[in-house]
Amino acid sequence: MLMLLRKMVEIYFSDIENVNRYTYKELKIATEGFSPANKIGEGGFGSVYKGKLRNDTLAAIKVLSAESRQGVKEFLTEIKVISSIEHENLVKLYGCCVEGNHRILVYEYHENNSLAQTLLGGGHSSIQFSWDVRRNICIGVARGLAFLHDVVQPHIIHRDIKASNILLDKSLQPKISDFGLAKLIAANLTHISTLVAGTAGYLAPEYAIRSQVTRKSDVYSFGVLLLEIVSGKCNTNRRLPVGERYLLANAWDLYEKGETESLVDVFLDGEFDVEEAIRFCKIGLLCTQDSLQLRPSMSEVLDMLIGETDVNEEKMAKPGLVFEIIEAKERRKQKGTAEVENASSSLVGSGRQDDSSLSGIADSFATMTFTSIYDRSN
Ligand SMILES: Nc1ncnc2c1ncn2[C@@H]1O[C@H](COP(=O)(O)OP(=O)(O)OP(=O)(O)O)[C@@H](O)[C@H]1O
């Protein structure tokens, strides 16, 4: 069995070009024995360490935990996928280590950390997120995603677009990381169903409820991220009163009242291009509409962001809000009642959801990893 596995790994590796292989020993040296001092993060799949490679290059070394769902096949698939694509807004994979039980990915290191720890990190970062910087980040992320969706063949759905997966390099260029959930899907398939493994606040309703993954579920997540970048607020802040907890619901309320401008981060102190900021908010709302068909593609989003095309808000519908289901589920847990069904029926546009899809909610949520429902302290 072990021999067979080794053989499989060798066959797979012989098929993968341009990927360095590292030994466990050299990665141990690079991270000073995986010392806690060099640990820079902890994700759903394991720990991330900063390390210095043999050629003095800094790297982010992601050690997949034993509990990680990624087996050899998924691990090697991830490597194959990442190594075959290169783009200025995607994190570069240097190589990997597959030795015994060790599964380690070695990425280019980006010193300015993620948006989750900087922009949304509660004031612990010294980075100045001016409007120009934010605009550049939004456009860069849209470029990276449009590339994955519309240029790479067959296209790639990221599935886990969120602030902790947007890293910043030394000149604050955004880099999309974590293709652990990405899967290549055949171009003729419109969607694939799978276990929901994204993060709650960024999840498109159809993804949360029916595990339905399409490029449009990435578009939804991008819309949430866009609103976070413009507002400087996390999509969920459980410290706030119920009515103010959810950024997306607030954004829609303000839009309806014609007060979209007040969504923009107060830290900008009024120093931003008002028209452009409002346009970005509207694009965020276009992306998060309940109906997949109404959401634009990432290439269309990019064109709207750079002002190449206008934002058509004529028929813009209310966003699909997942939090209502989450809260109802929490209440049900506490009270042992069957409120999920009630809350689900109040989901925006939920008239299209039948009982069979609703009955899957609890199961879908049981498989979700709620790893990044973070709060911003201010
Ligand atoms: N290439 C990198 N350069 C610098 N820091 C990184 C890099 N990759 C990851 N990190 C840091 O490690 C943290 C954890 O990353 P990881 O992708 O494993 O998990 P996550 O995105 O936080 O959560 P999840 O696994 O649920 O997606 C990131 O938030 C970031 O701070």
Per-10-residue mean pLDDT, the chain, length 378: 61 60 96 97 85 95 72 69 86 88 91 94 89 98 97 88 95 86 42 51 89 93 98 90 87 96 96 97 97 97 98 92 71 64 43 34 35 27
Residue 61 placed within a domain: yes
**pTM to 2 decimals?**
0.82
* Domain end marker among 90, 108, 126: 108
Is residue 141 domain-shared with residue 288, that is, in the same domain?
yes
In angstroms, the CA 244 to CA 366 distance is 26
Q: Is 112 in the pocket of ligand 1 (CB under 6 A)?
A: no
- Edge-to-edge strands, sheet with 46-52: 20-21, 93-99, 102-108, 58-64, 46-52, 39-43
Is residue 28 domain-shared with residue 126, that is, in the same domain?
no
Q: Is 118 in the pocket of ligand 1 (CB under 6 A)?
A: no
Contact present, 344 and 365 (Cβ < 8 Å): no
Q: Is 353 in the pocket of ligand 1 (CB under 6 A)?
A: no
3-state per-residue secondary structure call for 271-328: CCCHHHHHHHHHHHHHHCECCHHHCCCHHHHHHHHCCCCCCCCCCCCCECCCHHHHHH
Contact present, 13 and 22 (Cβ < 8 Å): no
CA of 43 to the centre of ligand 1 (A): 6
Any binding-site annotation on 175?
Answer: no
Q: CATH number for the domain including 94?
A: 3.30.200.20
What stretches of 150-223 adopt beta strand conformation (E)? 156-157, 166-168, 174-176, 183-184, 192-193, 212-213
Q: Which atom of ligand 1 is nearest to the CA of 48?
A: 12
Q: ipTM score here?
A: 0.95
pLDDT of residue 242: 76
Is residue 44 domain-shared with residue 122, that is, in the same domain?
no
pLDDT of residue 71: 61
Whole-angstrom CA distances from 103 to 42, 46, 64, 69, 146 are 15, 10, 6, 12, 29
Which of 164, 368, 369, 374 to mutate to test ligand 1, by most ligand atoms within 8 A of the CB atom?
Answer: 164
Residue 168 placed within a domain: yes
Residue 94 placed within a domain: yes
Is residue 90 domain-shared with residue 144, that is, in the same domain?
no
Q: CATH number for the domain including 162?
A: 1.10.510.10
Contacts of 175 (CB under 8 A, 6+ apart): 89, 90, 91, 108, 110, 144, 166, 167, 168, 169
* Domain end marker among 41, 74, 108: 108
Is residue 54 domain-shared with residue 118, that is, in the same domain?
no
pLDDT of residue 156: 87
Q: Which helix (H) or strand (E) holds 208?
A: helix 205-210
Is residue 188 domain-shared with residue 161, that is, in the same domain?
yes
> φ, ψ for residue 11 (rounded to 5)?
-60, -45
The total of structural domains in the chain comes to: 2
| Tokens at 241, concatenated | 């009163």
pLDDT of residue 146: 97
